[in-house]
Amino acid sequence: MWSQLKNRCVREAEWIDPIEVADPEYLLRLQWRRIKRVLHYAYDNLSFYRERFDSIGLHPADVKNLDDFSRIPLLSKLDLIAETKSRQSFSIGIEAFNKRPPFNVVMTSGTHGFHTFAAVGRAELTRGAMRAVLREFWMQKIRPGMSVMTLSPAWHFLSLLDSRALTAIGARCVSPFGTHTPRFAERFLDAVVNLRPEYVLTIPPVLYAMLSVCERRGIEPREAFASVRYVSAVGEAVTPRLRQKLRDQLGLDDFFERGGSSDGLWGGGECSRHNGHHVFADLFYVEIVDPVTNQRLGPGERGTIVVTNLVLGKSLYIRFNCEDLGSIATDVCECGRTHPRVEIFDRLDNQIQVNGREITVYDIRACLDEIDQLCGRSFFVVKQRNGGFRIDVYDPDDTLHNVSSEARAALLKRFGLDAEFRGIRSMPARWKGRLVDERQVAIGEGYPGE
């Protein structure tokens, strides 16, 4: 069974790194070997981990199997922030470089109001996690000589890997001026129309903004994107319904999603089966844990994503709590790849409690996307002073009222959430489907973004 799948995968993919279809048992053994190496390296060489492990009386030799490993306390973003502040330095003793200086320093996300830093060695960009992105790009149909539109905000870890992976594949790259905010959408659309890339790498809010530009200019998205066969979007989950809509609207062969986090320096992408992000097991070890008890959860259960880097030569994260909600699937994918697949739903703090049940903004998104007129429309979930919730929907042409009662009924039926809908004329610069506090909106802080 497994070898049949493997053969098909190799056939369909034209080329594949043999490890992508390795025996799952072999992968587990490989992961375990690397976990041990990483633990020993961290204890022997990295002051941060040495102190941390000593303080809980842990020695790497005590970790005899994956169950032992899963009892190591989670590393949180707050731990990294505290260490950065106390050392007053980007370098906090997690940089696994054998004491050499870093090759590059990137900023991680600004969650908890503070950007921590991650250091990256040259090997990470030429071998390390670059290989994950290389496999991912190939899986997502980037081919040598293909013209790929890329917008690399050079402060982000992923864009460093993207640059090197595109080089390794031999893709031709076009890069419009600007950065990943909707304010540059005009230029991005110009580049799509003028330079006719076959592939677009982007983030969903920028793609939506490009669609708004099409609308403003009165051109059919299909026409503007005539040259584009594939779009791959990173950073935000796209619901199946919206993916289909975007494929149709843009006339794409496929629409892919990528995901991961600069906190923890990990990532993965969907294959054309769209059933989760393949996270390459030789490079990352991903666990899903209960957000409250931190107990490891099984395949299919929704919980917090915890990641451990399995290669050195960069800032090393061991059992890092990414504060993202996800689930893991360990069965072999239909594409033949044997590595686990992680479905990433939303940020942990981007969920609300309704009748004792946790629902995420992504869940609301999925429900609203079922309504044609709302599919893909930007919105915010506003937490009101009275404890209730309101949905603020981007509504430039004042058409929301046609569907707001249908939408309200849908949320009530699906989640027992009774939320008022309000149309807003313009979206703040840092827009993203997010949960925000009404007080923040009211005092004009705008919406927290990024």
Selected range binding other proteins among 31-39, 98-106, 213-221, 291-299, rule: CB under 8 A: 98-106
37 or 196: CB nearest other proteins: 196
- Name which position in 60, 128, 176, 235 contacts other proteins (CB under 8 A): 176
249 or 262: CB nearest other proteins: 262
**What's the closest the beta carbon of residue 269 comes to Zn ion, in angstroms?**
10
Using alpha carbons only, what angle is made at residue 73 by residues 71 and 79, rounded to the nearest 5 degrees? 165
CB contact at 8 A, 2 and 23: yes
Tokens 């999925």 — which residue?
366
164 binds other proteins (CB under 8 A): yes
Which of other proteins, Zn ion, none does residue 250 bind (CB under 5 to 8 Å by kind)?
Answer: none
Q: CB burial class (10 A; 0-12, 13-18, 19+) of residue 144?
A: exposed
- How many of the chain's residues bind other proteins (CB under 8 A)? 45
Which of other proteins, Zn ion, none does residue 153 bind (CB under 5 to 8 Å by kind)?
Answer: other proteins
DSSP 219: -
- Can you say how many angstroms the Cα of residue 189 is from the centroid of all Cα atoms in its chain? 24
Which of other proteins, Zn ion, none does residue 283 bind (CB under 5 to 8 Å by kind)?
Answer: none
Which of Zn ion, other proteins, none does residue 7 bind (CB under 5 to 8 Å by kind)?
Answer: none
Task: List, edge to edge, every strand of the sheet that includes 434-437.
Answer: 420-424, 389-394, 379-383, 434-437
Whole-angstrom distance, CA of residue 46 vs CA of residue 96: 7
Listed in sequence order, the residues at least 6 apart from 386 whose beta carbon sits closer than 8 Å to its beta carbon are none
Output the CA–CA distances (angstroms, integers) from residue 335 to 19, 169, 259, 275, 345, in the order listed: 14, 21, 19, 10, 22
Which of Zn ion, other proteins, none does residue 333 bind (CB under 5 to 8 Å by kind)?
Answer: Zn ion
CB contact at 8 A, 47 and 32: no
Whole-angstrom distance, CA of residue 234 vs CA of residue 435: 19
**What's the closest the beta carbon of residue 58 comes to other proteins, in angstroms?**
28
**What's the closest the beta carbon of residue 443 comes to other proteins, in angstroms?**
18
154 or 412: CB nearest other proteins: 154
Selected range binding other proteins among 171-179, 265-273, 327-335, 344-352, rule: CB under 8 A: 171-179
Q: Are strands 199-202 and 230-234 parallel, antiparallel or unpaired?
A: parallel
Stretch 78-97 residues interacting with other proteins (CB under 8 A): 84, 88-90
429 binds other proteins (CB under 8 A): yes
CB contact at 8 A, 12 and 335: yes
159 binds other proteins (CB under 8 A): yes
Site for Zn ion, rule CB under 5 A: 271, 273, 333, 335, 337
- Name which position in 152, 212, 272, 440 contacts other proteins (CB under 8 A): 152
Q: Which residues bind other proteins (CB under 8 A)?
A: 84, 88-90, 101-107, 110, 115, 117, 120, 125, 150-155, 159-160, 162-164, 166-167, 171-179, 181, 187, 190-191, 194-195, 429
